[in-house]
């Protein structure tokens, strides 16, 4: 029979090798498929770090289970195992490591959140109005309105969100930001797009039958192109007709 200590060493060695290999493999992956904003970049690094840290945790349990399933089978032996009720040192280590992990993750997450939220200042503002089932964008600088979202590249954009009827959620996957549009209150979010291009936007909160198709297009362009585009938009043309009802009529 293998002595208990040797089992531990063998399993620990397997675990260490698998963890290192796994962590190295994961560390190189870009997880968020399209990254077109500063915020999405922060989220991607958080994602990668969490993924790297999960590998040893995952491997610990998996190696423990697999090793036991192979080596500790009873194989018809009816005898009981050793009467071990616990192990003070091991329990303390387990608790200590999990607390340390939690505090580390929390600190990193909180720092990331502060970084994403950033200062409450912006170079450009867009007002978003959501309704069943369409998005409307207004640009206060010129009063222009549109059904597409146009923002400048490399500048901090303040997005102010409202809803006329039910809860929607403003989401541009490539920006890594998501913010509910809540009737009765105004929500906001800041984003700095880093790569010019066209990106899909979606409603992320169930808002009824049309939820599936409640999409919009986001165009990120340089300031000059954006200005030209804004000039072409007639002020208030899109928003001039009152939003279709779906909202409270009883008030």
Partner 1 sequence: MRALKPGLVRAVVGAAIGAVIGAGSLILAGIVGMEITDGEILGLGYLLALIGFLFGIGAFRFWLTWAVGREVNIEEEHAAHGTAGDWRRYFLFTTDHKVIGVQYLATAFTLFLVAGSAAMLMRFELAQPGLVLGKEAYNEIFSTHGAMMITVALISIVGGLGNYLVPIMIGARDMAFPKTNALSYWLLPLPILLVAINPLLGGFDSGWTAYPPLSQQANLGQQAYLMAFVTVGVASILSAINFLVTVFRMRASGMSLMRMPIFVWALTVTSVLGLVATSVVAGAFTMLLFDRVLGTSFFRASRGGDVILFQHLFWFYSHPAVYIMGLPGLGAILEIVPVFARKPLFAYPLAVLSFISIGVLSFMVWAHHMFVSGMATFFHIPIMFTTELISVPTGIVFLSALGTIWMGRLHFKVPMLWVFGFIWAFLIGGITGVFLADVPTDLTLHDTYFVVAHFHYTIVGGAIFGLFAGTYYWFPKITGRMYSERLGKLHFWWFTLAFNATFLPMFWLGIEGMRRRVADYSPQLGGVNLWVSFAAFNIFLSVAVFVFNIVRSWRRGPQAEANPWRAQTLEWQTASPPPIQNFDHIPTVSSGPYEYGGGLGVPAEGRATP
Between residue 76 and residue 105, which ones bind partner 1 under the rule CB under 8 A?
77-87, 90-91, 94-95, 98-99, 102, 105
Only segment of 41-49, 135-143, 144-152, 228-236 that touches partner 1 (CB under 8 A): 41-49
Contact code string over 153-192 relative to partner 1, x by CB under 8 A: ------------xxx-x-x-x--xxxxx-xxxx-x-----
> Nearer Cβ to partner 1, position 4 or 232?
4
Q: Which residues contact 199 (CB under 8 A, 6 or more apart)?
A: 34, 36, 172, 173, 174, 175, 217, 218, 220
Q: Radius of gyration of the chain from Cα atoms?
A: 26
CA distances from 132 to 33, 76, 251 (A): 28, 65, 19
Residues found in the chain: 251
Tell which one of 47, 194, 196, 238 touches partner 1 (CB under 8 A). Answer: 47
Binder among 16, 110, 237, 245 for partner 1 (CB under 8 A) = 110
69 binds partner 1 (CB under 8 A): yes
Question: Interface with partner 1 by CB under 8 A: which range of 14-22, 146-154, 202-210, 229-237?
Answer: 202-210
Q: Which of 62, 141, 198, 223 binds partner 1 (CB under 8 A)?
A: 62
In angstroms, how far is the first alpha carbon of the chain from the final one? 80
Interaction residues for partner 1, span 207-246 (CB under 8 A): 207-213, 246
The residues near 30 (Cβ < 8 Å, ≥ 6 apart) are 44, 48
Q: How many CB atoms lie within 10 A of CB 109?
A: 13
């Amino acid at each position: 029979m293998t002595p208990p200590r040797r089992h531990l060493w063998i399993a620990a060695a397997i675990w260490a090798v698998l963890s290192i290999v796994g962590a190295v493999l994961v560390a190189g992956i870009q997880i968020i498929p399209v990254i077109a904003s500063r915020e999405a970049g922060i989220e991607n690094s958080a994602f990668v770090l969490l993924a790297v840290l999960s590998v040893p945790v995952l491997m610990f349990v998996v190696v423990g289970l697999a090793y036991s399933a192979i080596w500790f089978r009873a194989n018809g032996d009816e005898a009981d195992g050793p009467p071990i009720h616990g192990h003070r040192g091991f329990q303390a280590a387990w608790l200590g490591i999990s607390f340390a992990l939690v505090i580390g993750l929390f600190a990193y997450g909180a720092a990331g959140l502060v970084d994403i939220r950033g200062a409450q200042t912006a170079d450009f503002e867009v007002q978003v109005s959501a309704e069943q089932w369409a998005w409307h964008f207004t640009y206060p600088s010129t009063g222009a309105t549109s059904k597409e979202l146009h923002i400048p590249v490399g500048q901090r954009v303040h997005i102010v969100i409202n809803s006329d009827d039910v809860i929607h959620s403003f989401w541009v996957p490539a920006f890594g930001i998501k913010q509910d549009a809540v009737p009765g209150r105004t929500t906001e979010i800041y984003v700095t797009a880093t790569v010019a291009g066209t990106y899909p936007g979606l409603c992320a909160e169930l808002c009824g039958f049309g939820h599936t198709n409640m999409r919009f297009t986001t165009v990120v362009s340089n300031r000059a192109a954006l200005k030209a585009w804004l000039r072409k938009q007639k002020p208030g043309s899109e928003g001039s007709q009152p939003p279709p009802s779906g909202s409270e009529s009883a008030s």
